[in-house]
Chain A
């Protein structure tokens, strides 16, 4: 049942073509929920969100209504309160927020305005990644149009463009960046709900989460809470299907669809008649899934039982042409490039992972290095200021433990057993465009 095309909600009305202008969004009932929300008290709106059990779509899956309830009401604090929408979508494999902004920009704006009413904020910042040029144009046009139509009321929405830094998707790094600083994470507490941007209470939500708010009001919180896999994984997700599949794309489906259904029924199976070897689930920041796990449902509980994560709804199929060591190496190179450098386990650890994986790949590693790899992962996970370090270590550790035989083949073969035949062979990483001094142990110091 889950595999069947169900009515789109977040992307509702935009299945065939995008709803970019106000008139076409209004034609599918757009901004009706804003009107309803404004007729309710802020507290009622938050209660509806809590009742729906909508949870964050950016990766952390935190209950949205509860997060909103942490923001002090105006009678409790003499500061303005802010909303910051995280549109810094940069998790490898993730493109849902981009699809949402291109296809239903006004639904995002409507969600911002409902959220602003709920926490009594008059100031919304949408932090959009710097690379998204067309997306910025489309979103800014929607904001301008909503403003001209008088929909914003006393709320201002500023679309703020980033400048190329994955770490700014981390909520406190985003706040630093928005304040005009280097995007380095803060230590928590204080949490953003108490001290966010400009040391004021700040609600931070992902684009898809905010865009789901009008949907919650539209279908009703009780009904919404029945979609997907209640009680924890309610509603739909815009799943990001990519990699070696016949029909990659953004597919909105309820939580609970299996990885197999997504890859084979919706995505048309593995391309070029190849065999599935592994699946990147949630994003590149999480442990990989093996083919014997693909009947797992895509909901937080089912994935959690296997030590996996729903993340930002990513499902990337990796076929049997890919060398898993090269995969782990390329993932580690990404995090090395994106580490902000503020804390040592991440700054040094990501780089160490790259060196060890490269040694495995080129045949200069020993059995001891595999243990060292896992040891380095262990010394990163849970020991960094933010989750970027974990995001490098979790996938790498999962590759070593779930594909140990292939790592051993590299050792026995004195290098990559695939030769030049791997689909990821010699894949260039941006980090190699930079000139770096060797670290101490590399230089033999």
Chain B
């Protein structure tokens, strides 16, 4: 199914097709890896919205990549609940293992590292989302194997 068809199918679930913009941007990002100008234009065309409007919405939400991102993402919660129980050490282990700072992507384009706000997994700190799936109770000594696992995928 083309992206346009997929978006228009999702749009049927809503009384107003504009409501489908978040799912549409998500679908476009899944296809393209990030929201390039072309991706934004495709979304706009499918929903009969201007690219500028789509961009204004996309830029509001944290989960949309407005620049090229890695094939994989590692997101470390550094809000207070995880922070009290060693999140900073986990984040720094990822920084060392990947050789990049939070917000950056490895030079080979494989992995993007981010610090994120509370993931809602506070009883099992540190919460880390690996390709948007939660790992719980992550400790610094598990970092190398998580990175190795992603590099192998």
Contact = CB atoms under 8 A, between A and B. Distances in A.
Interface of A: 80, 89-95, 97-98, 123, 129-134, 156, 158, 160-166, 177-184, 198, 240-244, 248-250, 280, 284, 316, 318-319, 322, 327, 330-331, 334, 337-338, 340, 423-430, 432-434
Interface string B51-75: 0000011001111100000000000
A242 B16 contact: no
6 contacts: A92-B80, A165-B60, A240-B123, A248-B125, A430-B62, A433-B103
**Which size bracket describes the interface of B in this complex?**
35 or more
| Most interface-central of A89, A163, A184 (chain B CB within 10 A) | A163
Q: Which of B79, B81, B86, B125 has the most chain A CB atoms inside 10 A of its CB? A: B81
B90 to A, nearest CB: 11
Contact of A92 (B61, B62, B117): B117
B134 to A, nearest CB: 7
Given A180-B47, A428-B78, A430-B116, 19 more contacts: A92-B79, A92-B117, A92-B122, A94-B122, A131-B129, A161-B22, A164-B64, A165-B62, A166-B117, A240-B123, A243-B122, A248-B123, A316-B81, A334-B117, A424-B88, A425-B88, A427-B80, A428-B91, A433-B114
A159 B15 CA distance: 14
B40 interface: no
B122 A158 contact: no
B132 interface: yes
Given A93-B80, A131-B129, A330-B83, A163 B64 contact: yes
B87 A427 contact: yes
Nearest to A319: B84
B20 A242 contact: no
Contact of B61 (A162, A331, A423): A162
Contacts of B124: 248
Contacts of B87: 427
Nearest to A318: B84
A428 B80 contact: no
Interface of B: 13-16, 18-23, 25-26, 47, 56-57, 60-64, 78-81, 83-88, 91, 102-103, 114-125, 129, 132-134
A248 B137 CA distance: 11
Contacts of A427: 78, 80, 83, 87-88
Given A164-B63, A426-B88, A331 B120 contact: no
A351 to B, nearest CB: 16
Contacts of A92: 79-81, 117-118, 122
